[in-house]
Amino acid sequence: MCVGQTGLGKSTLINTIFASHLIDSKGRLTPSEPVRSTTEIKTESHIIEENGVRLRLNIVDTPGYGDQVNNDRCWDPIVKYIKDQHSAYLRKELTAQRERYIQDTRVHCCLFFIQPSGHALKPIDIVVLKKLSDVVNVVPVIAKSDSLTVEERQAFKERIKEEFSFHNLKMYPYDNDELDDEERAINAQIKDIIPFSVVGSEKTIVVNGKQVRGRQNRWGVINVEDENHCEFVYLRNFLTRTHLQDLVETTSQIHYETFRAKQLLALKESSAAGGHTGGSRPISPSADRELSRNSQRAAMNGY
């Protein structure tokens, strides 16, 4: 999932990460096109195959987010969509004749695009990050970071980290005592880099006789894969290599388990209330056992 204001290069970055044109820009195409009145949810699904490994990639864009003068509760459609995917997965899990393979449409990662202002997070960013981090793995990125100098970029990153700490915003990856030394070292490196300063480009240019993705301007060449220019390479490796499986597992073990425990508890309370009034059927023993297991997991995860 990509969340950010129009014009921050969300679609371009996704296409750059996977080196394919997977998604078209949903921003305003012409000045005469009206601004969207609400945050919309646009989804696309692709099958990516590399070295014999097939990956189903569901891309969720959020055009219209943050584009209003009054952006009060502009995050509601996003949070609702994430919870709806949890709910759909839960219904399939609790079906009497459950499918052997449940197609997973849950959101495993949310890229949150921060405007490269060079100053600080906007109040709406803080509110939305708090709402999203409660239900999904949030990975913040500074969009179009080539608009900042190296010194401005580093100072901006430090201010953002301070705000994360001050407002107790939990960004992915999370602390986990079960990780081995190598995994902890990788996570420490990622936490030191976050928020990722990124640049996206679908165009190829020639640098030292090699074709790379980047842009040419009057000051020189911006190579998105050059670690001295931006942190795109770190983000790509993070999403597609080192943390791909962990994003899925963390979604299942933390965010989904928390949602499921709350839903089953509400179902049990509803059944108990219905029993007193002669209404709803009581919760099934299997769902009751599932509730107990999920309550224990939720407690262990600190929820």
Closest CA to 60 of 104, 11, 20: 11
In a domain, 235, yes or no: no
Burial 207-216 (b: 16+ CB within 10 A, else e): eeeeebbbee
Q: According to the model, what pLDDT value does residue 48 have?
A: 86
pLDDT in tens, the chain (303 residues): 999 998 899 999 999 999 888 988 766 556 666 666 568 899 999 998 877 888 899 999 998 888 877 788 899 999 999 999 999 999 998 887 777 788 899 999 999 999 999 889 999 999 999 999 999 999 999 999 999 999 999 999 999 999 999 999 999 999 888 888 899 999 999 999 999 999 999 998 888 888 889 988 887 888 999 998 999 999 999 999 999 999 999 999 999 999 999 998 888 887 777 655 544 444 445 555 555 555 555 544 544
Number of Cβ within a 10 Å radius of residue 63: 20
Alpha helices in 73-149 (DSSP H): 76-93, 123-133
* Consecutive H or E run containing 58: strand 53-61
- The one-letter amino acid at 207: V
| Residue 262, domain member (yes or no) | no
Q: Residue 232 in 3-state DSSP?
A: helix
Q: Which residues pair with 111 in a beta bridge?
A: 2, 139
Domain count along the chain: 1
Distance CA 183, CA 124 (A): 33
Structure tokens at 214: 């980047």
Note the pLDDT of residue 266: 87
Domain around 147? 2-74+109-204
- Residue 52 forms part of a structural domain: yes
Element (H, E) at 44: strand 42-50
| 289: in domain | no
The answer to whether position 166 is within a domain reads: yes
pLDDT of residue 208: 82
* Cβ count near 50 (within 10 Å): 9
Strand partners for 139? 111
Q: Does residue 248 lie within any of the structural domains?
A: no
CATH number reported for the structural domain that contains residue 18 in this entry: 3.40.50.300
- What are 196's strand-pairing partners? 141
- Residues 235 and 141 sit within 8 Å (Cβ to Cβ): yes
Do the domain assignments include residue 215?
no
- Would 84 be classed as within a structural domain? no
